[in-house]
Structures are given as C-alpha cells and as structure tokens.
Amino acid sequence: MVAGPLIDGKYELVEVAGEGGMATVFRAVVRGAAGFQRTVAIKRIRPEYRSVRHYIDMFIEEARVGSELAHPNIVQVHDFCSSDGAYYLIMEWVDGVDLGTLQGTLARAGKHLSWPLVLAVSIGTLRGLGAAHERRTANGELAPVIHRDVSPQNILIGASGVVKLTDFGLSRARDRANSLTVPGTVKGKLSYLAPEVTLGKANSVASDLFSMGVVMWEVLCGQRLFDARNDLEVFKKIRACVVPPVRTFRPDAPEALGAVISKATSLAPKDRYASASEMVADLVRVAAAEGAAADVEDLLGRSVQEVRTLLAEARQRAMGARSVVPAAGPEAAPASASPPASPPASPPASPSPAVEESVTIEISTADLTVEPLSLDKPKR
C-alpha cells in the first residue's frame, strides 16, 4: 500500500495494481471540487529503465498514440506528466482482469471460457484494433497505428463485461518519421509474432491480425500454439506456422469459428484478413448463425467476478499456508530464532497461455542461426 503520495499535485497513489515489463501500474484517484473524485490507473516507468533513452521514447510514444485513440474498446489515456525524474501515464481505470489472468485462473480450476465468450472478447478487441488501424490525422489522412503487441495480457475485461485493448508502448504510428525499432530487431511477445516479423519484415495490419488469431486459438484450446524449449525453437515453429484445427481441442466450437482463426493465422500475409473490420464481420456472422447469446457482456462480467473470487481464495490459502507454524517439541527453537522456512509450494498447474508470464524481448534477426523459411504454406 502506498496511499498518500501525490503526482503532479492532483493524482493520489492508492496501491500497486500490477508489475510487469518496463512499468509499474498503480490504482490512484484524482480529486476535484465539491468532493468529486475518480479512480484512474497510473503507469510509471520502472527506475531501472529511466536512464535508457529507448525505453523512455517508447513510453512517451505510448502516451502520444494513446491520447489520439478514442474508442470504447481502447483504454483511454487522460494525461502524461513527470515528477522527480519519473514519467507517469494517467489512464482509464478498468475494474476487471486481463484475458490471460481470466483464462489461466479458469484453467487451474478445470474450467474454460465458452466459445461464445471467446468470440465476444475477440470482437471487442478487434473493434479497438480496427480503430487504431483506421486512425486518421486532423487533416483526414489515414495514419494507421500498428499495435505490435496483441496478447492476452493486453486485453482487459471489466467486471461489467466491457473489453478494452491496452498497452500501445510498442506501437508504430505511420505519421511518425522515425521508427522506435532498431533495424534488424524483432519486438513484442515472442510467441505471438507473425512469421514475416521473425524474418525481419515490418509489422503491419496483417501481423496484428495474426497475433489476434493466435490469442483466439490459445484461449479456446487452452495451450500455447507456438511453444518450445527455447526462443530459437519458438522462432522455427512460428516460421513453419503449423496451426492445428481448433476443433481438435475444442469440438464444441463451430467450424466457422475455426475457419476464421485459420484464415487469421495464415502463413502468408496476403492470405489473412485485409482488415480488423473484415474479421469482425465474419465473427458476427458466426455468432448469428450459431445463435450465440445476446447478453454476452453480462456473462463476461460474471466470469470476471468468478475469477476474482478464485484469486481471492487462492491468496487466502497462500496466506494460511505461510502462517502455519510447527507445534513446539522438546527441541523447539527459542522464540528469537529465525522463522521456519516456508513450506514447499504446491505443484504448478498445467501450462496454459495465461499461467506463464510472457516477456517482451528484443532479438536481432541477424543473430539467428537458422535459414529463413519459405512463406509457402506447409503441407499438413
């Protein structure tokens, strides 16, 4: 708990809400006249990255791009400020969990999201992604923002069932003269990269949609699509791009939904969807044809509440385990002795897309020792 400190004289930090990547996220409140107050999220670049110019540039870019994207399915950026050498990004507070936490927590409880809910989350995310891809300047010129980091951790689901895309820190707006990517470098969460990106090609609308297809496949199937012992093996799997049919693992999912995912994860960019809007249109048709429930936001909200309950119970069990002290025996240690070691942790649950935290990496494609693979679709 860090209640008390003020940022820019008006944002009061309340507690740490999350750690990861290059930033810490706080829950905070902003106060106004007549008792007005609103909860906000504050993202602060971590101290170890403050002296790295490239990371500072990425953080500033996230603020710049986020401030120009206004859409119900994108986390809104309210303000950007600095204090005592630190930068703070003030954002909309989403009262919920990310898709990775949602899926992973349910998986550990032996459950999974129903395919209609996965479809609903995908439609919401794609609508936000489409708004970024179709962004225009004040002059009306098309200036797409490529997200470059579409992954379960960057898809938030509120307790009300609303779906929000966040974290444009790696984004590349076409109106910017200089890319934030060093030539020959691949950026993003490794297992969600498109095949052409691993070959050093530029990120694009097609690569974002490929990442979204991977997310959909993993949440439905409950496992990594491109998983291996090391990064190099993951690269090889991505380049081969063998995507098993969704119904192999989820026979309850409609064939038409599997077909959408198959198209989105095609090896060659030209074989994928041309736009997020086109992919949404196909998903809406699947929902209509299958008679998917209309009150999906309510159902999503219930799933979020269920996951929160499961997480709270897990925390209580962990705290209870730590508080257990062995009964005193004839040779019990004196009260001033060091406390006993913590009991061994429970065996980890089976790996799932959300259990293991993805790491943002930078790999020089020039250092890879594998030959570039053909973009022709491999035989299955």
Q: Are 149 and 290 part of one and the same domain?
A: yes
290-349 tens-digit pLDDT:
998 767 899 999 999 999 999 999 999 988 877 665 555 444 433 333 333 333 333 333
Residue 84, pLDDT score = 80
What is the spatial distance between Cα 331 and Cα 56, in angstroms, rounded to a whole number? 56
Asked if the structure places residue 320 within a domain, the reply is no
Length of the chain: 380
Q: Are 144 and 59 part of one and the same domain?
A: no
Asked if the structure places residue 217 within a domain, the reply is yes
Using only the alpha carbons of the chain, give its radius of gyration.
22
- Whichever domain contains 68, its CATH number is 3.30.200.20
Q: Are 157 and 264 part of one and the same domain?
A: yes
Q: Are 111 and 254 part of one and the same domain?
A: yes
Q: Are 85 and 11 part of one and the same domain?
A: yes
Domain that holds residue 25: 6-92
Q: What is the pTM of this model?
A: 0.82
- Whichever domain contains 126, its CATH number is 1.10.510.10
182-232 tens-digit pLDDT:
555 565 688 999 999 999 899 999 999 999 999 999 999 999 999 999 989
Q: Look at residue 154 and tell me whether its pLDDT is greater than 80.
A: yes
Domain final residue pick, 27, 59, 92: 92
Q: Would you put residue 115 in left (φ > 0), alpha (ψ -120 to 50) or beta?
A: alpha
Cβ neighbours of residue 330 under 8 Å, at least 6 residues apart?
none
What is the spatial distance between Cα 71 and Cα 74, in angstroms, rounded to a whole number? 5
Domain final residue pick, 49, 67, 92: 92
Q: Are 179 and 194 part of one and the same domain?
A: yes
Among 187, 117, 126, 245, smallest CA distance to 363 is for 187
Q: Is the Cβ–Cβ distance between 258 and 246 less than 8 Å?
A: yes
Known catalytic residues are 149
Asked if the structure places residue 375 within a domain, the reply is no
Q: Worst-scoring range by mean pLDDT, 121-135, 137-151, 282-296, 357-371?
A: 357-371
CB atoms within 10 A of CB 264: 26
Asked if the structure places residue 324 within a domain, the reply is no
Q: Are 226 and 263 part of one and the same domain?
A: yes
Asked if the structure places residue 185 within a domain, the reply is yes
Q: Is the Cβ–Cβ distance between 155 and 163 less than 8 Å?
A: yes
Q: Are 260 and 278 part of one and the same domain?
A: yes
Local structure of 323: helix, strand or coil: helix
Q: What is the average per-residue pLDDT within 267-283?
A: 98
Q: Is the Cβ–Cβ distance between 357 and 191 less than 8 Å?
A: no
Domain final residue pick, 92, 125, 148: 92
Among 28, 38, 37, smallest CA distance to 3 is for 28
Q: Look at residue 163 and tell me whether its pLDDT is greater than 90.
A: yes
Q: Are 76 and 108 part of one and the same domain?
A: no
**Residue 57 has which token pair?**
């540039």
Q: Are 212 and 185 part of one and the same domain?
A: yes
Asked if the structure places residue 305 within a domain, the reply is no
Asked if the structure places residue 85 within a domain, the reply is yes
**Residue 358 has which token pair?**
């993805």
For the chain, the domain total comes to: 2
